Amino acid sequence: MAIDILNISLYDRPLSQAVDEIIAVCLDRSPKVNRLVSATGAHGLVIAQRNQDFARLLSHFYLNLPDGMPTVWIGRLKGSKSMERCYGPDLFQEVMVRTANTAVRHYLCGGKERVALRLREECARKFGNRNCVGIFSPPFDGMTAETMRRLGEDINNCNSDIVWIGLSTPKQEYLANELAKYTKAQFIVTVGAAFDFHVGAVSQAPKLLQRMGLEWAFRLMMEPRRLFRRYLEVVPLFLYYGMRDLVRTLKTTNRTENI
């Protein structure tokens, strides 16, 4: 259920199937082994191309979900016809809605001060889910081992099934991997800006722009000072790496067919 894109194994099934699997594991009360899940977009894939440590980290994740449409387009061109966008905010919403009347327990980790608190309130109001059993906002200057240990203990004491981390890439993936040393949950899921979107702190791109793969342009207009440098680097590099990946795949396919 995965396809290699830019040397990273990405989930190539619909979002609904990923949601089904996450919920099924939680409801079956399978052993808590910290299944790491990342909603991985162009930004993360570009970083993985330039940082082998981060690429190795993603290779050990249970699922890497294709967070952006350009990634999905590359997957489809490489032959994965069933690949769909698994957008972090949508994943969060679907799991919250579908577990509202279950015993699945959620822990919210991330966002600026009070964002996690507001998100817990929004989960109850918008999604009818009152099973957010704990919240934590990581300090801006990073996590010490002691802070990580206390966070892990709190997650365990809350008997959490899913830990949601809403930070930027690659900070959130490194945090998820480190947190797994200190706690036990069914899933630790990184969802980027999902927290900010769902509390209304950041405007979300219209669905049409999302389907066109232009969410980055909308976000750049909303937050030019913060995102200008990132997208100035990420967009052209992703196009370059993506085209190189496709050409390599086509050459391999042609050699195979000629044998």
Task: Report the distance separating Cα 72 and Cα 59, nearest Å.
Answer: 18
Task: Report the distance separating Cα 10 and Cα 136, nearest Å.
Answer: 29
Which pLDDT belongs to residue 255?
64
Peptide bond between residue 66 and the one before it cis (omega within 30 degrees of 0): no
Which pLDDT belongs to residue 164?
98
Q: Do 220 and 227 touch, CB atoms closer than 8 A?
A: yes
The pLDDT tens digits for 175-195 are 999 999 999 999 999 999 999
Which pLDDT belongs to residue 199?
94
Residue 112 DSSP one-character state: S
Residue ranges in 180-223 assigned as alpha helix (H): 194-198, 207-211, 215-222
Which pLDDT belongs to residue 180?
97
Which pLDDT belongs to residue 51?
96
The pLDDT tens digits for 191-216 are 999 999 999 988 889 999 999 999 98
Which pLDDT belongs to residue 259?
58
Burial 29-41 (b: 16+ CB within 10 A, else e): eeebebbbbbbbb
Domain ranges of the chain: 2-258
- Amino acid, single-letter form, for residue 122: E
Which pLDDT belongs to residue 123?
97
Positions in the chain whose pLDDT score sits under 50: none
